[in-house]
A = this chain, B = another copy of it.
Amino acid sequence: MKLTFPDRLTAACRARGNAVCVGLDPRWEQLPLELRRRHSAGTLDAMAGAFAEFCLRVLDIVAPLVPVVKPQSAFFEACGPAGMSALQTVLRRARTLDLLTILDSKRNDIASTAQAYADAVFGKQAVWPADAMTINPYLGRDAVEPFLASARQAQGGVFVLVRTSNKGASQFQNLDCAAKPLYEHVAEAVGAWAGENIGSGGLGDVGAVVGATHPAELARVRELLPHVIFLIPGYGVQGGSARDTAAGFRPDGTGAIVNSSRGITASFAPEEKNWEASVEAATRNTIAALTTQTPMGNLV
């Protein structure tokens, strides 16, 4: 019997001794030159081939080190159908390497359409198979439910955008709604959804995306939602420090994963020949910074 998503995630974090998520956001201009030269036809198919090769090499490097990876759908989609094939390849390979996967696609729609998005990730004929995906809550409960139901059938998880890491996020997310900011209302809904299916470790299968760039709010949401897993973006290039992420964890180091994308996969200059060593060093440095400065260190 497959464990719940939160239990699998916690087990993977304990096995690796950290809760770092490597974001796979391939951008042509950041790829190693040696790799670009071998995919230099100038077509989107060639670019997709480069993205796949780059991501597969990164997966090999990070698989022994971290529990989870997060491909960003947008960059694959921008390459067209070949890019979507590359995304499929990357997701499938991650599984064979015993990595958990979060598809970052922030999907949302009314229920009958949301079902199609959810099936594509969690269904029997899943085309972008992942252990979890990100979704956007703006449409409300009935639009979120198909994602939850599909995820549950596959023992998967869903991460709902609560307080995003970007500068303009406060425009709507921090509007004062009935004496508290909008994101707290969303957080409460996430808490209720997560409470419907709690694993043996006390964490639910519905998580929250809460940016490291707003540490006080991260602490507030942690307080509100002791049983919810946080996916924390915004660490590193976006401005959040290791210490800024600390408030996102439960005291035992569970309950949060911290994503790093460009800080790992664009940690080298394109002309650097030994870029794979740079990716490995950046991953190890990220793990070291986070395990020493946050409760993540208690996982081991």
Contact = CB atoms under 8 A, between A and B. Distances in A.
B110 A109 contact: no
A125 interface: yes
Nearest to A161: B138
A164 interface: yes
Interface size class of A (residues with CB under 8 A): 35 or more
Interface stretch (A54-62, A171-179, A272-280, A291-299): A171-179
A123 to B, nearest CB: 8
Interface in A98-133: 104, 106-111, 113-114, 116-117, 119-120, 123, 125, 127-128
Contact of A143 (B116, B138, B166, B177): B166
B177 A176 contact: yes
A288 interface: no
A85 interface: yes
B166 A127 contact: no
Given A78-B116, A127-B77, A138-B161, A182 B189 contact: no
What's the number of copies of this chain in the assembled complex? 2
A217 to B, nearest CB: 14
A110 B140 contact: no
Given A116-B75, A138-B138, A186-B172, A108 B110 contact: no
A175 B168 contact: no
Interface string A4-39: 000000000000000000000100000000000000
Interface of A: 25, 44, 72, 74-75, 77-85, 88, 104, 106-111, 113-114, 116-117, 119-120, 123, 125, 127-128, 136-144, 161, 164-173, 175-178, 182, 185-186, 189, 233, 238
